[in-house]
Chain A
């Protein structure tokens, strides 16, 4: 389970849709949010989201992988675009890699 006190930096990555973005793609849409730098109300919303767990993908539409480190291990969940908070959404940037 998520321990909010330990969770500081959330990495957000878009997957799916026409582009796909996964696997060996030379393009990524991703971002990073430091929870210490966002307003308490939004931070609470993000922490609630992290506790929700993994949602199974049912359509080819985009989904967002949230990953973070906690207690020495890597954690990740996937959420829909509608579930991203404004700061998580605004952090996304597309780059060639």
Chain B
């Protein structure tokens, strides 16, 4: 259905356009406005029909397109991507390669089974990962085309592929790139990072078949090295308690802590905490209801690169109502969660 919102309704314009008390020049202008309105209405209807058709085609696409191939490359501690292709990663003697192959395939399975998404682009695009990047490299990243993982220095961080939430996080950057296309700064940047933490954490819970109460809601807990642990750090970020002193990267958990220009890894604490609150209030397993609401809000409406946190919050509110009904537990949980973080 197309929404037509005009400041002056057509029937009023038509009455005025035929009113002999109004000057001929003004009446002609109103007639032109009516003609433009009619054309706009026609174009909106065409647009709505095309959107419905493309949605139907997209719905069929997963069954018509190929399954994503999982491709592994070994950088052998160099800095050039993608590195050397690994021929049989599933049976590699290198634990990092074998683990990355499995975790990447599992993330693809998670998106497909729980959300009906065929790979990151919805059309089965191949998933490329490079491991052993750099020398003791303390990071992992999505560069717009592929995932890359460092081995960690063994002190502060260990091999980044040991964290299945790391793999889920990086792949979700790809999903965001093909859907909402959030820019990587200010509020959309924080939302972009949060999407990756939310689906990374959900994937970790899905692999362990945990309920929302069994989950620890920590990000990067499995890549903490001995030096970080010795200092009392248990994770990189904590979705349940973003300001935790045990997190290597504490974050604000309320919108009043946000300021323009804030690093996306900081501001993501706000929507991260909203997801945690919504999921735990709904109960069960995070991907069953809260995850479906977030997924639909991320993937179901086309690109909105400059989306603010408030706009995303309102979209999840609207999706929760559509999917589960007004005043349902998810509807109330989502609304309360966002209010609790100031949105």
Contacts and interface: CB of A to CB of B under 8 A. Distances in A.
**A and B assemble together:** yes
Interface of A: 14-27, 29, 57-62, 81-82, 89, 94-96
A25 B142 CA distance: 21
Interface string B180-204: 0000110000001100100000000
A38 B228 CA distance: 33
Interface of B: 79, 138-144, 148, 153, 155-157, 160, 166, 169-170, 173, 177, 184-185, 192-193, 196, 220, 227-228, 231, 233, 236, 248-251, 262-266
Contact of A60 (B141, B155, B157, B231): B141
A29 B142 contact: no
Contacts of B193: 20, 60
- What is the interface of chain A mostly: helix, strand, loop, or mixed? loop
Contacts of B140: 17-19
A20 B249 contact: yes
B156 A94 contact: yes
Given A17-B140, A19-B236, A58 B250 contact: no
Given A19-B138, A19-B249, A27-B249, 6 more contacts: A18-B141, A19-B236, A20-B266, A23-B263, A60-B192, A61-B143
Contact of A61 (B144, B196, B265): B144
A22 B263 contact: yes
Contact of B141 (A22, A62, A82, A95): A62
A82 B148 CA distance: 14
